[in-house]
């Protein structure tokens, strides 16, 4: 697989401290479509682009969004708009997943 601009932006955004994931938007409309692949949360064109993220609430949302914008613009070379689609508290997500796993294990 050839790494595209969208792949590089997605990887860089996910590396920003406080980003827990990419988000495709309310209807999945924010995505880059490649042959046999869809990169959800990243949409880049010749004049600009968008990156939609989910952030960890324990970090300042504005700071996270600015860091994502800066790294994405550096890679893309065009203006990027960053949208925070959702927030999570990573510990709460991990605990909820562990509780679900424990419940499933007990039922087996």
Q: Which range of residues forms the domain containing residue 49? A: 5-107
- pLDDT of amino acid 1: 44
Q: What is the pLDDT of residues 89-104, one digit of tens each?
A: 876 656 666 666 665 5
Please count the structural domains in the chain.
1
pTM of this prediction? Answer: 0.81
Long-range contacts of 88-91 (CB under 8 A, 24+ apart): 88/20, 88/54, 88/55, 88/56, 88/57, 89/56, 89/57, 89/58, 90/20, 90/56, 90/58
pLDDT tens across 43-85, in order?
Answer: 999 999 999 999 999 999 999 999 999 999 999 999 999 999 9
CATH code, domain carrying 69: 3.30.70.1350
Average pLDDT for residues 13-37, to the nearest whole number?
94
Q: Mean of the per-residue pLDDT values for the chain?
A: 88
d(CA 73, CA 78): 6
């Amino acid at each position: 697989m050839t790494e595209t601009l969208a792949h590089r932006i997605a990887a860089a955004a996910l590396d920003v401290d406080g980003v827990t994931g990419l988000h495709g938007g309310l209807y999945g409309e924010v995505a880059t479509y490649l042959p046999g692949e869809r990169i959800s949360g990243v949409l880049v064109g010749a004049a600009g682009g968008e990156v939609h993220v989910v952030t960890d609430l324990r970090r300042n949302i504005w700071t996270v969004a600015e860091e994502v914008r800066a790294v994405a613009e550096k890679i893309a070379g065009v203006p990027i708009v960053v949208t925070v689609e959702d927030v999570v508290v990573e510990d709460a997500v991990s605990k909820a997943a562990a509780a679900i796993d424990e419940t499933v294990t007990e039922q087996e």
